[in-house]
Amino acid sequence: MDFYVGIKGKDFVMVCCDTSATHSIIRIKQDEDKIIPINDHNVFCLSGEAGDRVNFTEYVIANVKLYALRNGVNLTTKGIANYTRHELAVALRKAPYHCNLLLAGYDEKNGPSLYWLDYLASLTKVNVGGTGYGSYFTLSMFDKMWHPELTPEEAVVMLDKGIEEVKKRLVVAPPSFIIKIIDKDGVRVVKTV
Amino acid sequence: MSIFEYNGSAIIAMAGKNCVAIASDLRFGVQLQTITCDSSKVFKVHDKLYLGIGGLQTDALTLFQKVKFRTNMYKLREEKDIKPSKFGELLANMLYERRFGPFFTSPVVAGLEADGKPYICGYDSIGCLEKAEDFLISGTSPESLFGVCESFWKPDMSSDELFECISQCLLAGVGRDALAGWGSVVHIITPDQVTSRTLKGRMD
C-alpha cells in the first residue's frame, strides 16, 4: 500500500514516501522514487492506480512546463494545485484518474506550501498531510509535534519517528522510504531509510 | 456511507431584522479520517451575497467555480452585482442542468436585497428551490441542526442577537456529528458591512 506524508516547515516542505513498487502481493522494485519533480521547486507524491498516477502526473507536468514556456514565468504552487484539481474534476465524470496526490512546493512570493489532492478532485492546503494506511498511524503524531517555526532538523526527527511507528504497527509496512526537502534552493534528497 | 456524507459538512443560514447570517463548520475529512480543520464551506459571491455549499467537496469547489464564472459574466454585462433573488433562480437552473448527473451538493444562499430585506434559500442536489423566512440548514446531521434552529430562532433579531443565535445553534448542532465540527466560521451580513468571525469549538 502506498504511503506518503508531507510536513510544511518555516521555509521548507519535507516529504517522505515509501519506495516499493508492488503488483498485488509481489514487490517488484524496492527503490522506486515516487516523489516526482514538476519543476525546480515543486514535487508530486504519487499514490493510487499504477497506470493512472504516472500518466496523469506526466500530463500535468508537461502542461506546467508549457505554461512556463508560453508565459515566460513559472506557475506558483497554488496555480499548479488548482490546475491539477481542474484536470481531475473534468476527468471525474468522464474517465476518472484514480490517484491521490500531495503537491509540495516553494515559491518566492508565497514561501513553502503543501496541497492535498484526492482522486475525486478534492483540494485543500495543509500543514501536515498524507495518505495510505501509514498515514493513520502518523498524522496525529505529526499534528501534535508540528509548530509554525519548524526547522528541517525537527522535521527529520518527526519523520523518523513516523517511519518507526509505521514499521512497528502496520502489518503491510513498506520496508524502505525516501525523504526529500523542497526549499528556496530546490529539491534534494535528505536521506533514504 | 452516502456520497453526500463522504466529506462532512454543516451549514446554517438565518434571517434577522435587516440582516442575515450564514455559518459553516470547518472540518474537511474523508469518511471518518479528518484531513484539515480550516476548510470553510461558505463562499462570497459579492458583498451582499454569500453561498454555502455542503456535500461532496470536489463538487462544492466545481460548483462555486461555475457560479463565479456566471456571476462575473452577469456583472460585466449588466454592470451591477446580481440580486440575491435572481441568483437564487440562477443557481436552481444551474443545478437542474445536471439533472441526470448531478453535483452531490446541497447549497444554501444567504443575502440582503437592495432594500435591506434578508433573502435565504436552499436547494437539494438537483435544484429544487426552497425559500424561507427564518432559517435553512444543510449538512450531515440535519435533524440536530433543525432541532436547535427551531428552538432558538425568533423573528426580528438584531445582528448581535443573530450572531449569538446562529453560533450557538451551529456549535450545538454539530456536537453529536462525527463528520462535522472542529470549529466554525460565521458571517453576519448587514447593509453596511460583513463581519466574519471564527469560533473555537470542540475538536472532535
Bridge partner residues of B28 (DSSP)? B36
- Helix pair angle (B142-152, B159-173), 10° resolution: 150
Q: CA B51, B54, B58: angle at the middle one, nearest 5? A: 100
Q: What is the pLDDT of residues B106-134, one digit of tens each?
A: 999 999 999 999 999 999 999 999 999 99
> Which residues in chain A touch residue B28, judged by CB atoms under 8 angstroms apart?
122, 124
Chain A CA closest to residue B3: A120
Q: Do B61 and A123 touch (CB under 8 A)?
A: yes
The whole-number pLDDT of residue A24 equals 85
Instruction: Give CA–CA dist B8/A183, Å, rounded.
Output: 34
The whole-number pLDDT of residue A132 equals 87
Q: Is the dihedral of CA B9, B73, A71, A99 positive or negative?
A: positive
The whole-number pLDDT of residue B156 equals 96
Q: Do A122 and B33 touch (CB under 8 A)?
A: no
Q: What is the pLDDT of residues B165-200, one digit of tens each?
A: 999 999 999 999 999 999 999 999 999 999 999 999
Instruction: Give CA–CA dist A112/A110, Å, rounded.
Output: 7
Q: Is the dihedral of CA B176, B41, A44, A160 positive or negative?
A: negative
- Would you give the DSSP letter of residue B4? G
What number is the average pLDDT over the span B143-152?
96
**Among A46-55, A72-81, A124-133, A178-187, the least confident range:** A46-55
Q: Reduced to 3 states, what is the DSSP secondary structure of residue A47?
A: strand
Q: How far is B155 from chain A (nearest CA, A)?
A: 37
Q: Are B40 and B24 spatial neighbours (Cβ–Cβ below 8 Å)? A: yes
What number is the average pLDDT over the span A103-128?
95
Instruction: Pull the grid cell for residue B90.
Output: 440562477
> Which residues in chain B touch residue A92, judged by CB atoms under 8 angstroms apart?
58
What number is the average pLDDT over the span B144-150?
96
Say what percent of chain A tops pLDDT 70: 99
User: Quick check: A1 pLDDT over 80?
Assistant: no
Say what percent of chain B tops pLDDT 90: 98
Interface membership of B128 toward A (CB under 8 Å): no
Q: Do B58 and A120 touch (CB under 8 A)?
A: yes
> Which residues in chain A touch residue B6, judged by CB atoms under 8 angstroms apart?
120
Where does the pLDDT of residue A83 fall: very low under 50, low under 70, confident under 90, or very high at 90 and above? very high
Backbone angles phi, psi at B109, to 5 degrees: -110, 140
- Nearest CA to A124 among A72, A95, A92, A84? A84
User: Quick check: B204 pLDDT over 90?
Assistant: no
Strands of the sheet with B20-25, listed across from one edge: B135-139, B10-15, B20-25, B184-189, B194-199
Q: Do A122 and B61 touch (CB under 8 A)?
A: yes
Q: How far is A126 from chain B (nearest CA, A)?
A: 7
> Which residues in chain B touch residue A122, judged by CB atoms under 8 angstroms apart?
7, 28, 30, 57-58, 61
Q: Reduced to 3 states, what is the DSSP secondary structure of residue B62?
A: helix
Instruction: Pull the grid cell for residue A36.
Output: 516526482
Q: How far is A88 from chain B (nearest CA, A)?
A: 10
Where does the pLDDT of residue A39 fall: very low under 50, low under 70, confident under 90, or very high at 90 and above? very high
Interface membership of B101 toward A (CB under 8 Å): yes
Mean pLDDT of all residues belonging to chain A: 93
User: Quick check: B70 pLDDT over 80?
Assistant: yes
Instruction: Pull the grid cell for residue B144.
Output: 440536530
Return the H-helix or E-strand segment holding B51.
strand B49-55
The whole-number pLDDT of residue A25 equals 87
Sequence length of chain A is 193
Q: Which residues contact B164 (CB under 8 A, 6 or more apart)?
A: none
- Nearest CA to A8 among A82, A99, A77, A111? A111
> Which residues in chain B touch residue A89, judged by CB atoms under 8 angstroms apart?
58, 61-62
User: Quick check: A191 pLDDT over 80?
Assistant: yes
Q: What is the pLDDT of residues A7-31, one digit of tens each?
A: 999 999 999 999 998 888 899 999 9
What number is the average pLDDT over the span A115-124?
96
The whole-number pLDDT of residue A172 equals 86
> Which residues in chain A touch residue B7, judged by CB atoms under 8 angstroms apart?
122
Q: Are B61 and B72 spatial neighbours (Cβ–Cβ below 8 Å)? A: no
ipTM of the complex: 0.91
- Indicate the residue of A92, A118, A123 with minimum beta-carbon distance to B30: A118
Instruction: Give CA–CA dist B11/A148, Å, rounded.
Output: 30
